[in-house]
Amino acid sequence: MKIRADHDRVRERLVGHGATDRGRRTQRDTYYNAPARDFAETDEALRVRHETADGDRRAKLTYKGPLVGPTSKTREEHETEIEDGEVMEAILESLGFVRVAVVEKDRERFSLGDCLVVLDSIAGLGEFVEVETEAHEEEIDAAREEVAGMIESLGLNPDAEIRTSYLELLLGDGD
């Protein structure tokens, strides 16, 4: 679940609940569209992520499939670490993939119970809180309830969930 929220207030609640600080990181996500189909129409995403955490730099290639159901942001996801993000971007562009947009994030990560709570500051959009947990397909409803409960414990309203991606928000295609 993703919700617009003031980070200071949520951070206080996290500390009060005894959340574990998992560190800060910056991410620059470059999104691509396929030459043979429009990912905006098929609700898919392909990105190259450049991430810096604790002075360490990494790059990953990620594919996200369409949303699994109407009530969560659950998606099939495939991700792999890559040695050189710039080279991967050059390969994609050489194959006809088109750069759509870049999303820049500063993230603070916390663990609380079985959930990961992320305070995101998104360039051009503002502050958001994301709460997630891992679940198998048969556990999605229970996981969604767990996440909604965590959102409420942080003083936020799960009904304010934003189901669109940061990319869609930046492009003006979402909430």
> Which domains are assigned to the chain?
2-171 (2.40.320.10)
Q: Which residue has the tokens 């990912």?
A: 39
| Total H helices, total E strands in the chain | 5, 8
pLDDT of residue 69: 64
Q: Considering the entire predicted model, what is its pTM?
A: 0.82
Q: Are strands 115-122 and 126-132 parallel, antiparallel or unpaired?
A: antiparallel
CA distance 44 to 97: 14
H or E segment to which residue 115 belongs: strand 115-122
- Distance (Å, whole) CA 157 – CA 160: 6
Question: What value does the mean pLDDT take over residues 136-157?
Answer: 87
Nearest to 104 by CA among 174, 170, 7: 170
Residue 16 has pLDDT above 60, yes or no: yes
**How high is the pLDDT of residue 163?**
84
Q: Catalytic site residues?
A: 31
| Confidence at residue 142, expressed as pLDDT on a 0 to 100 scale | 85
pLDDT at 99: 96
Average pLDDT over residues 90-103: 97
Burial class (CB in 10 A: 0-12, 13-18, 19+), 69: exposed
136 has pLDDT over 80: no
For residue 3, which amino acid is it?
A: I
Do the beta carbons of residue 118 and residue 129 sit within 8 Å? yes
pLDDT (tens digit, 9 = 90+) per residue, 46-90? 999 999 998 899 999 999 988 776 655 667 889 999 999 999 999
